C-alpha cells in the first residue's frame, strides 16, 4: 500500500483477551467483536516494537513467530507502520497487518558500500561493506565499483608487474626491489640476479643503451629512432610519469637544433606493446627536473608527446622517455617552424574557422579549461568558432590524423560556459539541429594526444522530432516495446546518462505505485544506455542510468505515481528498441527453500523474489558456468513456475550483490533439464537476464553463482502474453 504519514502512532494492547487502545488519532473505525460491549473500536497500525503477545518477538514469541505480522485489520490503510521501506498491507486471510521489509527501497547506486537492508521497526540501515577478502595472503583484494565485482590481484609489493615468487613460483625473487623480477633482462656486470633465474651476470646479458645523460642518443636532425628500455633503470624525475615510477625505466635523447632559424622540437614516443605506458619530458638541462620545458603523458596510454617551442639554433634539449616495462620504443623527433602556444586555449579567444573547409587540430600541450560530460576527454582543449548567416543544421566531423586516440568535440553555448552537445570518437559527428544565425563556439580535445582533422558542415534547418525533448516526449504504453531509430537524433537530452550518444525520450505515466523495468536493446557489440528520469530530465532528475552492451536494464520498485521519462541512447546512432514493463508494486517474497524439496512457487502472474545462497548447498551445475567448476557448481536455490498456456517470461536479477548465474530448466521430475539458450551468467553490473518464450508446462528456475559466487540475490519475474 502507499505510505501515509498523517495522524499519531497508535498502539494496540491486549489485556486479558480484550483490545484496548492508546493514543488513538486518525484511525479507521470498525465493528467490535470478541465479546465487546458492541461499541465501535478503532483498529490502528500495529506497532512492531510492542512487547505484547507474540508481535514484538519478545520472550513469548514462539518458534513459528512471523515478525512481519502486526495487529488486526480489515483494510490496507490500517497497516502503515511508518517505515518507508516496508510493504504494508492487510492480510485478509489472517485479518492482520503484514509489513514486509523490501531491501530494494533502501538500495543506493553504490555496490562497494554493501547492500542496504530494510529492518522492521528501524527502516533502512547500511549493510556491511564489500571487503572482497578471500583469505589468500597472495592476493590483493579490492572492490571495483565500475564493474560491481571483487578483484583479486596477485601480490606485487614492488609494483614491477611480476608477482612474488613465494606465491607464484619462479617469478619475482625479490618483491622489495622493482629492478629485479622474472620479467627483467639480465644486466651485464652489476653483480645482481636481475631476471630471477638463480644466476648472476650470466650470458647472454644486456648492456643498457642511452640510459643516462652521458650516454644520451645525439639527435641533430628530424627522424624516427628505434630505441629500447631493455636493461635500463629509472634515473631521472619528471613531472609526469607512468603509474609505478619506482618500477619504471628511462632513456635519454640529446636533441640539438641545427643552424638556421629557431624551431619547435616535437617528440613523440610509442611503445611496442599497447599495455606499456610511456611518458616523455623535455628538459633544458639534462637530469634536472627544475629545467623541464614540458612533459606529456596520458595515464595508461602507450603513446605520449611533448614539445619545446621556439628553441634557438644550436641549443640542445633533452628528451627523457620513461616506460613502465622493458620495451622497444619508437621515438619520432620533428623540428617544426617556431611557434607560440595557441591563443585559442580558452573561451576568451576562439579561433574562427570557415564552413565546409577541413582544418587540423594538434593536441600536444593545451591546458584543460572546460568541463565536458564526455569524460573520455583526457587532454586539454582548443576552442573554435563559426558563423551562420541563417538557421542551419550543423554537423561537426572529426577524425584522427595521427596518434592512437580519438577526438572529443564539444558544442558550447554562445558564452562558451555551458556545453550543449559532446561527442567522443569519429562517428557519428556532433549534431546540432536548427542552430540560429550568428556565431557559435565549439572545442576539440582528445582521448590522448593526437592530431585531428575537423570540418564543420551545414545543412538546411529541420524540425526536431517529439522524442528529441523530454517536454514533448511521446507516450510509451506500459508493457510495450517501441523501435527507435537514432540515426538522425541529437545528443539533446542532458539527463546525465551516456553523454555523447544520440538519444530519444518517451513519457511513462504511472497512475499508482509501480514496479518498472526498462529494457534497452542495441545492435550486437554496440554500446548504448537506457535511463529513467523525472519529467524535467535535468541532471538532478536522473533516477537510474544503465550503460553497456545489449541488453541494458533499469529496475525501480515501488515507483510513486507520476510522470517519468524513459530515455534510450546509442553510441553510433543506430536502430534500437525500448521496452517498458510496468505492474502495480508487489511485495518481495523471501526464498528459503534450497533444492527440489519444497521449492518456492512463482505465481503465473510473476512476482519479485529475494534470497541468499550463502547458507545453501551446491546441488546443480549449469551450462553457462565458468570452466573447471566442481560438480554442482556454486551454492544455489530453486524456484518452480507452472504455466498453463504459452507465455513470454522475463527474468531480471538487477540489484543482486553476487555475480549471479540464472538457469531455466523444464520438465519433471525436479530439477528437469536445462533449456537451450536459457542460462545466463551475470558477470556484468546488471547481473543475469533472460527473456524467454515458454510453452505451457512446469519450469524450474535455478538461482546460482557464477564461478563459485554466493550471496544475496534478487529476481524479478514478469509473465507476459507471447
Query: What pLDDT, on a 0 to 100 scale, did the predictor assign at position 416?
Result: 85
For residue 310, the model assigns a pLDDT of: 97
Q: Report which of residues 40 and 666 the model is more confident about.
A: 666
The runs of H, that is alpha helices, within 50-155 are: none
Using an 8 Å Cβ cutoff, are 20 and 93 in contact?
A: no
pLDDT value at position 692?
A: 98
| Cβ 567 vs Cβ 576: under 8 Å | no
Looking at the chain, the whole-number percentage of residues with pLDDT higher than 90 is 81
Mean pLDDT, all residues of the chain: 90
Residue with cell 617552424: 337
pLDDT at 23 over 60: no
Residue 417 pLDDT grade (very low, low, confident, very high; cuts 50, 70, 90): confident
For 456, list phi and psi in degrees, rounded to 5: -105, 120
pLDDT band at 114 (very low <50, low <70, confident <90, very high): confident
Per the listing, cell 502507499 goes with 2
Q: What is the pLDDT of residue 466?
A: 98
Whether 388 has a pLDDT exceeding 60, the answer reads yes
- What pLDDT, in 10s, does the model give residues 470-514? 999 999 999 999 999 999 999 999 999 999 999 999 999 999 999
- What is the third-level CATH fold of 213-337? Jelly Rolls (2.60.120)
Domain borders along the chain are 11-101, 213-337, 351-460, 466-584, 588-720
Give mean pLDDT, residues 152-175.
91
Quickly list DSSP for 404-431.
SS-EEEEEE-TTSSSEEEEEESSSSPEE
Q: What is the model's pLDDT at position 51?
A: 39
Beta bridge partners of 307: 266
Query: Mind spelling out the 3-state secondary structure of 520-532?
Result: EECCCCCEEEEEE
Q: What is the pLDDT of residue 134?
A: 85
Q: Closest Cα to residue 493, out of 434, 462, 536, 459?
A: 536
**Nearest-5° angle of CA 595, CA 688, CA 135?**
75
**Would you list the DSSP string of 288-328?**
-GGGEEEEE--TT-SEEEEEEEEEPTT-EEEEEEEESSS-E
Q: pLDDT by residue (tens digit) across 530-559?
A: 999 999 999 999 999 999 999 999 999 999
Query: Which residues partner with 709 through β-bridges?
Result: none
Residues 287-308: what's their mean pLDDT? 96
Contact criterion met (CB below 8 Å) for 475 and 564: no
At the second CATH level, the architecture of 351-460 is: Sandwich (2.60)
- Residue 1: the pLDDT is 52
Mean pLDDT of 135-160: 89
Report whether CATH 2.60.120.380 matches the domain 588-720: yes
Q: Which three cell numbers stand for residue 360?
A: 587540423
For residues 349 and 366, what is the distance between their CA atoms, to the nearest angstrom? 14
Cis check: omega of the bond before 475, within 30 degrees of 0: no
- What DSSP assignment string belongs to 550-589? SPEEEEEEEEPSEEEEEEEEESS--EEEEEEEEEE---EE
| DSSP conformational letter for 342 | P
Grid coordinates representing 255 are: 636533441
Q: Which residues contact 608 (CB under 8 A, 6 or more apart)?
A: 104, 515, 557, 586, 587, 588, 589, 714, 715, 716, 717
- Please provide residue 564's backbone torsions phi and psi, each rounded to the nearest 5 degrees: -130, 170
Mean pLDDT of 132-143: 89
Q: What percent of the chain has pLDDT over 70?
A: 91
Question: Which CATH number does the domain 466-584 belong to among 3.30.360.10, 2.60.120.380, 3.90.25.10, 1.10.357.10?
Answer: 2.60.120.380
Looking at the predicted structure, is the pLDDT value of residue 184 above 70?
Answer: yes
Mean per-residue pLDDT, 377-393: 96
Of 332, 334, 327, nearest in space to 225 by CA: 332
Task: Scan for cell 632559424, then name that residue.
Answer: 261
Amino acid at each position: 500500500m502507499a505510505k501515509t504519514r498523517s495522524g499519531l502512532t497508535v498502539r494496540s494492547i491486549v489485556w486479558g483477551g480484550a483490545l484496548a487502545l492508546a493514543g488513538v488519532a486518525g484511525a479507521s473505525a470498525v465493528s467490535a467483536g470478541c465479546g465487546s460491549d458492541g461499541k465501535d473500536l478503532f483498529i490502528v497500525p500495529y506497532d512492531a516494537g510492542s512487547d505484547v503477545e507474540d508481535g514484538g518477538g519478545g520472550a513469548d514469541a514462539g518458534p513459528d513467530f512471523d515478525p512481519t505480522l502486526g495487529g488486526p485489520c480489515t483494510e490496507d490503510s490500517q497497516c502503515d507502520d511508518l517505515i518507508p521501506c516496508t510493504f504494508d498491507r492487510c492480510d485478509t486471510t489472517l485479518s492482520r497487518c503484514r509489513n514486509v521489509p523490501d531491501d530494494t527501497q533502501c538500495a543506493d547506486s553504490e555496490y562497494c558500500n554493501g547492500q542496504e537492508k530494510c529492518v522492521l521497526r528501524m527502516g533502512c540501515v547500511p549493510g556491511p561493506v564489500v571487503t572482497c577478502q578471500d583469505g589468500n595472503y597472495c592476493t590483493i583484494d579490492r572492490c571495483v565499483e565500475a564493474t560491481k565485482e571483487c578483484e583479486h590481484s596477485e601480490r606485487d609489493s614492488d609494483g614491477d608487474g611480476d608477482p612474488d615468487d613465494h606465491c607464484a613460483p619462479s617469478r619475482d625473487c625479490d618483491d622489495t626491489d622493482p629492478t629485479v623480477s622474472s620479467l627483467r633482462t639480465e644486466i651485464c656486470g652489476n653483480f645482481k640476479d636481475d631476471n630471477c633465474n638463480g644466476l648472476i651476470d650470466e650470458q647472454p646479458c644486456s648492456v643498457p643503451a642511452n640510459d643516462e645523460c652521458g650516454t644520451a642518443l645525439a639527435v641533430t636532425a628530424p627522424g624516427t629512432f628505434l630505441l629500447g628500455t631493455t636493461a635500463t633503470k629509472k634515473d631521472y624525475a619528471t613531472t609526469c610519469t607512468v603509474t609505478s615510477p619506482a618500477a619504471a625505466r628511462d632513456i635519454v635523447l640529446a636533441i640539438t637544433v641545427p643552424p638556421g632559424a629557431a624551431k619547435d622540437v616535437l617528440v613523440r614516443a610509442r611503445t611496442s606493446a599497447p599495455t606499456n605506458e610511456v611518458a616523455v619530458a623535455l628538459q633544458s638541462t639534462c637530469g634536472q627536473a627544475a629545467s623541464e620545458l614540458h612533459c606529456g603523458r596520458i595515464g595508461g596510454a602507450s603513446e605520449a608527446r611533448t614539445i619545446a617551442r621556439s628553441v634557438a639554433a644550436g641549443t640542445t634539449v633533452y628528451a627523457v622517455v620513461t616506460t613502465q616495462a622493458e620495451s622497444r620504443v619508437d621515438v619520432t623527433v620533428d623540428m617544426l617552424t617556431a611557434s607560440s602556444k595557441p591563443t585559442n586555449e580558452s573561451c576568451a579567444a576562439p579561433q574562427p574557422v570557415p564552413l565546409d573547409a577541413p582544418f587540423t587540430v594538434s593536441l600536444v600541450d593545451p591546458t584543460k579549461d572546460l568541463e565536458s560530460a564526455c569524460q573520455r576527454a583526457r587532454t586539454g582543449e582548443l576552442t573554435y568558432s563559426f558563423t551562420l548567416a541563417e538557421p542551419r543544421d550543423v554537423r561537426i566531423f572529426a577524425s584522427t590524423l595521427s596518434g592512437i586516440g580519438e577526438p572529443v568535440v564539444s558544442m558550447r553555448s554562445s558564452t562558451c560556459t555551458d556545453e550543449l552537445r559532446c561527442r567522443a570518437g569519429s562517428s557519428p559527428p556532433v549534431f546540432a539541429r536548427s542552430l540560429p544565425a550568428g556565431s557559435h563556439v565549439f572545442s576539440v580535445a582528445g582521448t590522448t594526444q593526437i592530431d585531428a582533422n575537423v570540418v564543420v558542415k551545414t545543412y538546411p534547418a529541420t524540425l526536431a522530432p517529439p522524442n528529441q525533448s523530454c517536454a514533448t516526449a511521446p507516450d510509451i504504453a506500459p508493457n510495450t516495446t517501441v523501435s527507435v531509430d537514432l540515426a538522425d537524433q541529437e545528443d539533446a537530452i542532458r539527463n546525465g546518462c551516456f553523454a555523447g550518444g544520440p538519444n530519444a525520450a518517451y513519457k511513462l505515466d504511472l497512475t499508482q505505485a509501480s514496479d518498472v523495468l526498462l529494457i534497452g536493446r542495441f545492435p550486437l557489440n554496440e554500446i548504448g544506455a537506457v535511463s529513467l528520469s523525472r519529467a524535467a530530465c535535468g541532471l538532478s532528475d536522473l533516477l537510474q542510468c544503465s550503460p553497456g552492451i545489449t541488453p541494458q536494464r533499469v529496475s525501480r520498485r515501488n515507483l510513486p505515481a507520476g510522470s517519468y521519462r524513459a530515455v534510450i541512447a546509442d553510441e553510433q546512432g543506430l536502430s534500437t528498441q525500448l521496452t517498458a514493463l510496468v505492474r502495480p508494486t508487489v511485495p518481495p517474497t523471501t526464498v528459503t527453500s534450497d533444492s527440489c524439496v519444497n521449492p518456492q512457487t512463482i505465481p503465473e502472474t510473476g512476482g519479485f523474489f529475494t534470497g541468499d545462497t550463502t547458507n545453501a548447498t551446491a546441488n546443480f551445475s549449469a551450462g553457462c558456468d565458468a570452466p573447471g567448476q566442481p560438480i554442482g557448481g556454486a551454492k544455489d536455490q530453486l524456484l518452480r513456475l507452472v504455466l498453463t498456456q504459452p507465455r513470454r517470461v522475463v527474468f531480471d536479477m538487477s540489484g543482486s550483490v553476487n555475480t549471479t548465474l540464472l538457469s531455466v530448466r523444464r520438465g519433471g521430475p525436479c530439477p528437469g533439464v536445462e533449456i537451450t539458450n536459457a542460462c545466463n551468467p551475470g558477470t556484468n553490473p546488471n547481473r543475469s537476464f533472460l527473456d524467454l518464450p515458454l510453452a505451457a508446462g512446469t519450469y524450474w528456475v535455478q538461482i546460482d553463482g557464477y564461478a563459485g559466487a554466493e550471496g544475496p540475490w534478487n529476481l524479478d519475474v514478469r509473465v507476459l502474453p507471447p
